[in-house]
């Protein structure tokens, strides 16, 4: 399907998750069937004034075709310049964060605070389009800030030229608590013609089907449920084709599940480590990798041992050895 100028192999998206969706994890999600994986949120200002520090967040691997970066900020002019920056040249899609609930961000007028300012939202989209006229421009919103206004904001985004909108169906005031309210996604879908991605609490194929059927959304974005379980993308894409896996990209690991999607946590971890090691060194690398390894180990025979060993690991070699020894399919 088309997302603005970008071509997607299916309608499954990996959500941006700060601290998790690094290039390594994005590659694994795509290998399991996600059509598109968003970067962690990147400061538009940081990109302009602190390029070196931002570069790690902007690293992408060969698996990401097309590739998507998410920016946060509040000043249209900064967004315009960031969108035009050579650092973003390789990205096909620029997504604007209009949903981050973190107090530090919101107090600054960024993230979900933008939901309170429709004219500013429109200016930002117009500025990004102006800075990067050849790119697909999308926005990720919440149901609202402290009242539901997503349908109105989505219509404004469309009018300003956005190519698609993702709706995380919670108010900012809810942070991540309570159930996502899919009726808001349904309303947004009624309010715009651009593709709508539904997001919030999708943890299984059944959740995916329920969200699509109830709201009519075009795409589905999955966040937390993919951490430690990127195979969810294969399970869902298989679901739509009678149990036969589709949309699996590139070479896949050595264990085949019943749906035909090949999965092996060891291979996932090793690929993630390999990609992380290309651009992220020492402490930062092990901190990132440890969180993922702990998540992968959930439900495995040696889950406790894996977690203890991973937390104590000091190098990528040690983490690789843990994956080799404890995370192949015969340890499930």
Ligand X SMILES: Cc1cc2nc3c(=O)[nH]c(=O)nc-3n(C[C@H](O)[C@H](O)[C@H](O)COP(=O)(O)O)c2cc1C
- The residues in 161-180 that bind ligand X, with binding defined as CB under 6 A, are 168, 176
Is residue 225 at the binding interface for ligand X, with CB under 6 A as the rule? yes
Q: For ligand X, which residue of 22, 110, 187, 201 counts as binding (CB under 6 A)? A: 201
Q: Is 200 strand, coil or helix?
A: coil
Q: Is 135 strand, coil or helix?
A: coil
Q: For ligand X, which residue of 222, 236, 269, 316 counts as binding (CB under 6 A)? A: 222
Tell how far CA 15 is from the center of its chain.
2
Site string for ligand X, 133-152 (x = CB under 6 A): -------x------------
Stretch that binds ligand X, among 46-54, 93-101, 116-124, 258-266 (CB under 6 A): 93-101
8 A C-beta contact, residue 56 and residue 64: no
Q: What CA–CA distances, in Å, run from 237 to 14, 59, 62, 323?
A: 13, 27, 22, 27
User: Tokens at residue 89, please?
Assistant: 């040249």
Q: Is the peptide bond before 254 cis (omega within 30 degrees of 0)?
A: no
Q: Is 67 a catalytic residue?
A: no
User: Which is nearest to 274 in space by CA: 8, 16, 7, 28?
Assistant: 28
Is residue 212 at the binding interface for ligand X, with CB under 6 A as the rule? no
Task: Specify the residue, 208 or 326, whose C-beta has the smaller distance to ligand X.
Answer: 208
Task: Specify the residue, 57 or 316, whose C-beta has the smaller distance to ligand X.
Answer: 57
Stretch that binds ligand X, among 13-21, 150-158, 292-300, 309-317 (CB under 6 A): 13-21
User: Which is nearest to 196 in space by CA: 178, 177, 214, 179?
Assistant: 214
Is residue 223 at the binding interface for ligand X, with CB under 6 A as the rule? yes
Stretch that binds ligand X, among 182-190, 195-203, 260-268, 291-299 (CB under 6 A): 195-203
Q: For ligand X, which residue of 5, 7, 19, 49 counts as binding (CB under 6 A)? A: 19
Task: Specify the residue, 71 or 270, whose C-beta has the smaller distance to ligand X.
Answer: 71
Residue nearest ligand X, Cβ-based? 223
Report the chain's C-alpha Rg in angstroms.
19
Q: What CA–CA distances, in Å, run from 78 to 85, 140, 164, 165?
A: 10, 18, 21, 21
8 A C-beta contact, residue 150 and residue 111: no
Is residue 329 at the binding interface for ligand X, with CB under 6 A as the rule? no
Is residue 41 at the binding interface for ligand X, with CB under 6 A as the rule? yes
Buried/exposed code over 169-186 (b: 16+ C-beta within 10 A; e: otherwise)? bbbbebeeeeebbbebbb
- The residues in 56-75 that bind ligand X, with binding defined as CB under 6 A, are 70
Stretch that binds ligand X, among 143-151, 218-226, 273-281, 316-324 (CB under 6 A): 218-226
Going by C-beta distance under 8 Å and a sequence separation of 6 or more, which residues neighbour residue 9? 35, 247, 249
Q: For ligand X, which residue of 24, 131, 151, 200 counts as binding (CB under 6 A)? A: 200
Helix (H) or strand (E) holding 36: strand 36-43
Q: Report, as residue numbers or ranges, the catalytic residues.
A: 100
Q: Which residues bind ligand X (CB under 6 A)?
A: 15-19, 40-41, 70, 97, 99-100, 140, 168, 176, 199-202, 222-225
């Amino acid at each position: 399907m088309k997302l603005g100028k970008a071509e997607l192999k299916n309608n499954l998206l990996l959500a941006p998750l700060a601290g998790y969706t690094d290039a390594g994890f994005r590659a694994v999600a795509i290998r399991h069937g996600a059509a598109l994986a968003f970067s962690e949120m990147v400061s538009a200002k940081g990109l302009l004034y602190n390029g070196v520090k931002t570069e790690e967040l902007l690293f992408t691997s060969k698996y990401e075709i097309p590739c998507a970066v998410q920016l946060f900020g509040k000043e249209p002019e900064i967004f315009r310049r960031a969108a035009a920056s050579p650092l973003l040249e390789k990205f096909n899609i620029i997504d604007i964060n209009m949903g981050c609930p973190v107090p530090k961000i919101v107090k600054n007028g960024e993230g979900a605070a933008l939901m309170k300012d429709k004219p500013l939202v429109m200016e930002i989209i117009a500025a990004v389009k102006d800075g990067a006229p050849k790119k697909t421009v999308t926005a990720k919103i919440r149901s609202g800030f402290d009242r539901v206004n997503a349908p109105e904001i989505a219509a404004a985004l469309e009018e300003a030229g956005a190519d698609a909108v993702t709706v995380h169906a919670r108010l900012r005031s809810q942070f991540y608590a309570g159930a996502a309210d899919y009726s808001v996604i349904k309303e947004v879908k009624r309010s715009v013609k651009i593709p709508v991605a539904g997001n919030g609490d999708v943890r299984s194929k059944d959740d995916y089907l329920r969200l699509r059927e109830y709201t009519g959304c075009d795409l589905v974005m999955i966040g937390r449920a993919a951490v430690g379980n990127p195979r969810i993308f294969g399970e869902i894409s298989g679901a739509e084709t009678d149990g036969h896996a589709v949309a699996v990209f590139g070479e896949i690991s050595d264990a085949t599940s019943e749906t035909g999607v090949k999965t092996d946590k060891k291979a996932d971890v090793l690929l993630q480590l390999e990609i992380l090691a290309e651009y992220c060194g020492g402490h930062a690398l092990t901190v990132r990798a440890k969180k993922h390894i702990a998540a992968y180990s959930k439900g495995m025979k040696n889950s406790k041992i894996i977690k203890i060993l991973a937390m104590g690991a000091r190098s990528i070699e040690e983490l690789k050895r843990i994956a080799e020894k404890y995370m192949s399919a015969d340890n499930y």
